[in-house]
Structure 1
Amino acid sequence: MLEILDGIPLDKSRHVTPHRSLNGARAHLWEQTVLPLRTRGQLLWSPSNTGPLAVSRQVVTIHDVVPIDHPEWLNPHFAAWCRFLTPKLARRVARVITDSEFTKSRLLDTTGVAEDKVIVVPLGVDARFCPQTIEDVESAIQKLELPTSRYVLSLGSLEPRKNLGRLLCAWEVIYRGLPEDVWLVVSGAKGNSLVFQDVPELESLPSRVFLTGHVPDEHLPSLYAGAMAFAYLSVYEGFGLPPLEAMASGTPTLVGNRASLPEVVGDAALMVDPYDIEAIAEGLRSLIEDDALRALLRQKGLERAAQFSWDRTAEQTWRVLQDAAER
């Protein structure tokens, strides 16, 4: 939680946190009971989906409404709490910030919040995601012990909505017709078991699939930049940072054509139906085999990613906070 003090510059605002780390029900209880007492009537910014119902002088950032749209993907208790809290919170607070027009539309449809209270502030891409030197890419490949330097990368938390199962099925369809040194590299850690359901697709993998597990931050830019292509077939995203990071790294990108991803990538990525295994397979094959397509998407991706920056996100967020404080 970040408390914004009226009339005081951003660097004078203060963070409000529990005295010790809290998880689960205890964290929610602290948020709903202790936090309101500590805001002292000043404007509160709650930057991650939840906030205290007792505080109306508040701006809350809601990144997506997965618990409302797809509770089956989540821990039942977590989903039930969010389904109770989100509509009431959205209607009560002064402003709601969200990452995409898609999430704004879902908030309007599911919570009854007034449209003029919801402000879209797109996320940014870190400057460290950019084309890398050959030496840096080779170093990352060695440190991560990848089986090849020719790989399609899939990266994200391993949870149901990321659609890993259909990606693996599509890979099963095409890998035998590809050069033997082309592999699918899947990176990411399992989602929090307190929030996300298990991912059974990891139990049986096709040939030439390599799991890296969690990738340290220092290796991510080179892992992105070294890939022949990046595949992100998520069926639901409030924004979707990984495709943007891949494009900023100069890597041709394949995404699902659902939720917020089309508005994030524009015409700078190849889009397919994430529920259609044959379409995914054909998209993968095209990116691997078509040098001209990869070159075109590389250039378009770099141009598209340059339109997003964290500085712009911060500026737009601060304007919303200032407006809420003045009102």
Structure 2
Amino acid sequence: MAGIQRYLLELLKRLPPEQVCEIAPARSINGARAHLWEQTVLPLRSRGHLLWSPSNTGPLTISRQVVTIHDVAPIDHPEWLNPRFAAWYRFLTPKLARRVARVITVSEFTKSRLLETTGVSDDKVIVVPLGVDARFVPQVREQMENAIHKLGLPTSRYVLSLGSLEPRKNLGRLLRAWEVIYHRLPEDVWLVVSGAKGKSLVFQDVPELKALPPRVFLTGHVPDELLPHLYAGAMAFAYLSVYEGFGLPPLEAMASGTPTLVGNRASLPEVVGDAAVQVDPFDVEAIADGLHRLIEDGSLRATLREKGLERAGQFNWDKTAEQTWRVLQEAAED
């Protein structure tokens, strides 16, 4: 499940159901038809109410609206995206941000990029960080071994990389870094890459997946019920994304007791603090060195495990929902 999907589902569990009405098309639609429905039908169906649009987009004709903008990647890095998708959001995002009553963002990084690229006023943008589900905790060995068996992993000693397979996740440099160090590691240590390929309508291709280094295992999509066990069973977690609006997987890994390596760009430093190893995600040698240190240094892993559990404990969905509801109430009263 991608971060924005998890965000919406977690908040819908916690917002007061008697005060929230969900509006959706009669059947699932996507692409240009979905945007057409959003810009034409949704305004008619939400008339008279405050509209909350939780996923980067919303109807331009409605000012009595709160929109959550998770990142501005189509503006900052259109080259990573399908050209039509990027062009639509480069047109939509600035106009929508200036039009609506409030904008919720998920990190100070995204807020700063939003202010710089859209010209929206500072006091209209409120930062509400994401949370970590209570399912992500250290697991018992039996549960972890069961997940390893179900996913067909070749070993129980693995470094995990998780996320949709798209360019900004920086999988190519992670694989090149693994190629640098794998022969210096014990033969039973593998790199496990989990996640479904990004939608072709949105993301460009990831060519590095066509020629994998030795001891790399692709799980594909991971069922949500196995995810906590997959995190907790890993020796280390690697998330070398070069651009994130927030970056939920590192927090989930740390909450699971797994030492974590992240890129030092965008929102990730503010999310992990000093509870993870940070490296330049554009430097293959730095990534390789960070991986090697995490795998070989047991005392470093133990320190990061304790720091990670403490850091992740500061983020929870109840707090996210409470702060979001406060923003919605203020916008409704205005």
TM-score normalised by structure 2 residue count: 0.95
| TM-superposed deviation, 1:178 | 0.5
Distance 2:254 2:16 in 1: 34
Matched residues in 1 for 2:46 and 2:148: separation? 48
| Structure 1 residue 91, shift from structure 2 partner | 0.2
Select the residue among 296, 311, 333 that pairs with 1:304.
311
Tell me, yes or no, if structure 1 residue 183 matches structure 2 residue 190: yes
Taking the aligned partners of 2:70 and 2:111, their CA distance within structure 1 comes to: 9
Q: Secondary structure at the match of 2:138?
A: coil
Cα offset, 1:40, TM superposition = 1.6
- The CA deviation at 1:21 is 1.4
Residue in 2 that maps onto 1:232: 239
Q: CA deviation at 1:12?
A: 2.8
1:160 maps to amino acid: P
Classify 1:9/1:216 alpha carbon distance in 2 versus 1 (closer, same or farther; 3 Å): closer
Q: Equivalent residue for 2:3?
A: none
Greater Cα offset, 13-22 or 128-137: 13-22
Q: Gaps (5+ residues) in structure 1?
A: 3-7
Q: Percent identity?
A: 83
CA deviation string 1:39-98 (max 9, x = no partner): 123110000000000000000000000000000101110100000000000000000001
Aligned equivalent of 2:136 = 129
Q: Following the alignment from structure 1 to structure 2, what is the Cα–Cα distance between the partners of residues 21 and 206?
A: 39
Q: 1:89 aligns with which of 78, 89, 96?
A: 96
Q: What is residue 34 of structure 1 aligned with on the other side?
A: 41
Residue from 210, 218, 236 that aligns with 1:211: 218
Q: What's the counterpart of residue 294 of structure 1?
A: 301
SS across alignment from 2:306? helix
Letter of the 2:50 partner, please give it.
L
Farther off after superposition, 38-47 or 317-326: 38-47
Residue 104 in 1 paired to residue 106 in 2? Answer: no
CA distance in structure 2 between the aligned counterparts of 1:88 and 1:325, rounded to whole angstroms: 21
Return 220-229 or 36-45, whichever deviates more. Answer: 36-45
Segments of 4+ moved more than 6 angstroms:
none
Structure 2 counterpart of 1:143, which letter?
K
Q: CA deviation at 1:13?
A: 1.7
Equivalent pairs, count: 322
Deviation at 1:208, TM superposition (A): 0.5
Distance 1:208 1:23 in 2: 37
Mapped to 2, the partners of 1:274 and 1:12 lie a distance apart of 44
Distance 2:178 2:257 in 1: 23
Match of 1:144 in 2: 151
1:63 paired to 2:74:
no
1:326 maps onto 2:323 in alignment = no
Q: CA separation in 2, counterparts of 1:265 and 1:181?
A: 29
Q: Whole-Å Cα distance in 1 between the matches of residues 16 and 26 of structure 2?
A: 25
Separation in 2, partners of 1:139, 1:75: 38
Match of 1:5 in 2: none
SS at match of 2:61: coil
CA distance in 1, matches of 2:224, 2:82: 28
Report SS of the residue matched to 1:14.
coil
Describe how 1:148-187 pairs up with structure 2 within 5 A: 148-187=155-194
- Tell me, which stretches of 5 or more residues in structure 2 are unaligned? 1-7, 10-14
Alignment of 1:45 with 2:52, yes or no, is yes
Give the residue type in structure 1 aligned to 2:147. Answer: A
* CA shift digits 1:137-187 (9 cap, x unpaired): 111111111111100000000000000000000000000010001100000
Write the distance in 1 (CA, Å) between the matches of 2:142 and 2:198.
Answer: 32
1:195 aligned partner = 202
